[in-house]
Amino acid sequence: MAPRVLIADKLSPAAIDIFKQRGVDADVKTGLSKDELLKIIGDYDGLAVRSATKADKDVIAAAKNLKVIGRAGIGVDNVDIPSATAAGIVVMNTPFGNSITTAEHAIAMMFALARQLPAADVSTQAGKWEKNRFMGVELYAKTLGLIGAGNIGGIVADRALGLKMKVVAYDPFLSPERAAEIGIEKVELDELLARADIITLHTPLTDKTRNILSAENLKKTRKGVLIVNCARGGLVDEAALRELLDSGHVGGAAFDVFVEEPAKANPLFGAENFIATPHLGASTLEAQENVALQVAEQLSDYLLTGAVTNALNSPSVTAEEAPKLKPFVALAEKLGAFAGQMVDTGLKAIDIAYEGEVAGLNAKPLTAAALAGFLRPMLAEVNMVSAPAVAKERGIVVSESRQDDSPIYDSLVRITVTTEMGKRSFAGAVLAGLPRVVEVKGMELDAPFNPTMLYVNNLDKPGFIAAIGGLLADAEINIATFNLGRVDAGEDAIALIGVDQAPDEALLGRIKALAHVKEARALKF
């Protein structure tokens, strides 16, 4: 019996033809209510959606025969991935089908800003012929600053280089070698802000990237800078940008995305030399055709042959491997997240070492989990499947090593990160079935992963514990766990403190100002 796929959102007719050619029965039923979807979803092996249909936990619970969900596009906010994973349903997207279209939209926005095209059009069609009012600027020889140099950012860079622009990029996961390979200069954020004539954003929205162009950072930009955001709403402080547009410090801005969408009202609306489009980044005939064709091919491949492409949940693990791997996958991901939150810049390489019994297990899901944990603080959409490709795209050298013996623990996982500043190492073990941190900066300790933690590196001097305890008490932050490691009395020491509430920037500043403190960071797991 041929597999059956429900196409619940509008797709190109060419996608339907692919299903038919491959021998898959495809039913097109768009605009279904949730109740209507719940009644029929149990009849299908595959579900193809765009953004309208919500494959929530209720739909997945009713989908007794569903094997795969395919999203024609990148974002999968409309799919409950944890529920799908628990039900054994593979979730796929099509991450590259609209990359060129989105990059071209950013370039179009740059040109529109540089020559004030929308305002000039309105003025001219009103019969004003204000030739002297619209004095533009050339893009030639200007410096373009990319915040994010992944797939789309790389395409924008390539097009900008074709325009004979100078391109600098801030991306903590872009290696200097990869930057040189694609002809751009890797810089820190402050240097980009100081040098760029035009800034474009190409990064997902995460805790680390939210308001990356904050009021403070926007004030560091060059007078007259142009800012383009076709990535995600929330990367730029909209109210602060409006003030700087009104003052003339920012020469112009063009946004395709907003904090609240649909954007019926916004602080930026009405500002001089501000251009807005309604999230059109992926809206071309070619992009819509591409993602539709890709999702049809991917769903057909999986249903007919079992081949998995662009899956967003975990990589394949056999039934026999799963129980042994599960605690180490959790350890690898949390240890990777620890390392990822401790490294700010200049990333070159990551080595993941497996010592003891874990060295004999299937390392692929462990390494993928470690990379996903490492990259996720900056790249929210990264997962165990996509993390290796994302690392490769950014020129990060990833290596694995194995050692049959582990001196202290039955099994040990060690992540060593090489940056332009040197190396940092983090080790963990599974104890009583739970992941633990057992070594940081060469110092031994034994700490659980609390959802919210405080990391402090200090000189081991009397009074430190009382001082930091006092600051946390004053802030009414409760301590759940407190673990210490040190080289020797009076020398380098670390504290890993599990707390019930995340410390804010002001409290972190007070902790950093304590005597003998070298570094302090808030961590999330």
Give Cα separations from 415 to 169, 352, 372, 430 (angstroms): 26, 5, 13, 15
314-339 burial code (b ≥16 CB/10 A, e <16): bbebeeeeeeebebbbbbbbbbbbbb
Assess contact for 302 and 92: CB atoms under 8 A: yes
| Nearest-angstrom CA–CA distance, 15 and 474 | 61
Assess contact for 432 and 403: CB atoms under 8 A: no
Looking at 22, 71, 178, 232, which residue is catalytic?
232
Token pair for 436: 């633990």
**Length of the chain in terms of residues written:** 525
Assess contact for 468 and 478: CB atoms under 8 A: no
DSSP string across 187-251: --HHHHHHH-SEEEE-----TTTTTSB-HHHHTTSPTTEEEEE-S-TTSB-HHHHHHHHHHTSEE
| Nearest-angstrom CA–CA distance, 74 and 310 | 10
Closest listed residue to residue 418, CA positions, set 395, 434, 435: 395
Q: Which helix (H) or strand (E) holds 511?
A: helix 505-512
Q: Which residue has the tokens 């999986």?
A: 302
Token pair for 218: 């926007």
Q: Which residue has the tokens 């279904």?
A: 32
DSSP 150: S
| Nearest-angstrom CA–CA distance, 411 and 358 | 5
Looking at 261, 286, 444, 519, which residue is catalytic?
261
Q: Is residue 262 reached through a cis peptide bond, with omega within 30 degrees of 0 on the bond before it?
A: yes
**Does the active-site annotation cover 279?**
yes
Token pair for 227: 């800012």
Assess contact for 257 and 236: CB atoms under 8 A: no
Could you give the count of Cα atoms lying within 13 Å of 78 in the half-sphere of its Cβ? Answer: 20
Looking at 249, 279, 510, 521, which residue is catalytic?
279
- The set of catalytic residues is 232, 261, 279
